[in-house]
Amino acid sequence: MVKAKYWEYSSKFVGEPKLSNFKLVEEDLRELKDEEFLAEAIFLSVDPYQQVYMNFYNFPTGIVMIGGQVAKVIDSKNEQFPTGCTIYGMFGWRTHTVVNLIMHTEYPPYILPDFGSTLPASLGLGLLGMPGNTAYFGFLEICRPKPDETVVISGAAGAVGSTVGQIAKIKGCRVIGIAGSDEKCKWLIDELGFDGAINYKTADIDAELKSKAPNGVDCYFDNVGGKISSIVLQNMNLFGRISVCGSISNYNNLHPDSVPEPLPEQQTTILFKQLTQQGFVVYRWKEQWLEGINQLLEWVKDGKIKYRETIYEGFEKQPEAFIGMLRGENIGKAIVKI
């Protein structure tokens, strides 16, 4: 009999998630039935949406924390997922899972494409997974960048933002990133080839933007919302495009029954600059999922896109990794290695 561990969402998030919101539970897994398979997690993902969904959709306590993982199939009664294959699945914060595909119709598991011998399978949670596709489709389809345009990205040193910036460079744009430390800014410029970077915790963002983007901003990939985004909007050019990917600066305040804030003064800026602002959820492009992954894979193999991971060791570290990522401890994708 296989013993599994999982992290339970045991009390509601109030403001910033805390270690006390989670409980480690052990269980004995039952035998496989026909068409089922057993997945053993290798890498678990921590992502900002795991906070948002719990609050925004008012998920009940007592459930397994939601999340994606890269796993190995270690036993199988399903021909599509034979023993030994490496997969991505939305099985939650669990070490082992009995998978019945009927329970996973919304986000079905899939066998990872062959990343080649030099790239780690953990990329299936980052650059070559959901965050990579968020960058690829969310930027190209909504911002529709043209060569020589100026692109600004907030949350620039994270999983999504660092990929957006490199795609923008491939497309011939001038790229400015906004991130939360000097170390992150240095990485963006020295390693990833950004043209400029602004530490939003110490800099005068408006003054820095005016000097680093003297011709104004054509595309804004918004991961954070709030004050940073208000300042970027003021610096946009006529007919600029804004891809609203996330609003992490607001996630600690989200509540299903909270009264929405009035729409900000930036409405007038959007009107007179004739900006296009569009939100998206990456699964809009689920039919093209492998197209995005394969393009990113080609770019990383050609050395046109670099990646970095912040890896936390051990299943017990999952809540710490999650809280650390939300606080900005990570450079690139935050991952837990089992």
Smaller CB separation from ligand NDP, 58 or 202: 202
Tell me the number of residues near ligand NDP by CB under 6 A.
Answer: 29
- DSSP assigned state of 214: T
∠ CA(66), CA(69), CA(70), 5° rounding? 170
**Does 237 help bind ligand NDP (rule: CB under 6 A)?**
no
Q: How far apart are CB 242 and ligand NDP at their closest, in Å?
A: 13
The region of 58-66, 240-248, 269-277, 287-295 touching ligand NDP under the rule CB under 6 A is: 240-248
Question: Applying CB under 6 A, which of residues 124, 158, 165, 177 lies at the interface with ligand NDP?
Answer: 158
Question: Applying CB under 6 A, which of residues 53, 280, 285, 289 lies at the interface with ligand NDP?
Answer: 280
Smaller CB separation from ligand NDP, 135 or 297: 135
Distance CA 209, CA 203 (A): 10
Q: How far apart are CB 200 and ligand NDP at their closest, in Å?
A: 6
Residue appearing with tokens 């496989």:
32
Q: Is the dihedral of CA 166, 170, 171, 174 positive or negative?
A: positive
Q: How far apart are CB 100 and ligand NDP at their closest, in Å?
A: 26
Build a one-symbol-per-residue string for 30-49: x at contacts with ligand NDP by CB under 6 A, - elsewhere: -----------------xxx
Smaller CB separation from ligand NDP, 73 or 156: 156
Q: Are strands 110-111 and 86-89 parallel, antiparallel or unpaired?
A: antiparallel
Strand partners, 38: 75, 98
**Does 330 help bind ligand NDP (rule: CB under 6 A)?**
yes
Residues whose CB is less than 8 angstroms from the CB of residue 105 and which lie 6 or more positions away in sequence, other chains included: none
**Does 275 help bind ligand NDP (rule: CB under 6 A)?**
no
Q: Which of residues 128-147 bind ligand NDP (CB under 6 A)?
A: 131, 134
**Does 248 help bind ligand NDP (rule: CB under 6 A)?**
yes
Q: How far apart are CB 117 and ligand NDP at their closest, in Å?
A: 26
Question: Applying CB under 6 A, which of residues 86, 181, 277, 288 lies at the interface with ligand NDP?
Answer: 181
Distance CA 67, CA 53 (A): 11
Exposure string over 97-131, b if 16+ CB within 10 A, otherwise e:
bbbeeeeeeeeebeebeebeeebbbbbbbbbbbbb
User: Which helix (H) or strand (E) covers residue 37, if one does?
Assistant: strand 37-45
Point out which residues bind ligand NDP (CB under 6 A): 47-49, 131, 134, 155, 157-161, 179-181, 184, 223-224, 245-246, 248-249, 280-282, 325-326, 328, 330, 334
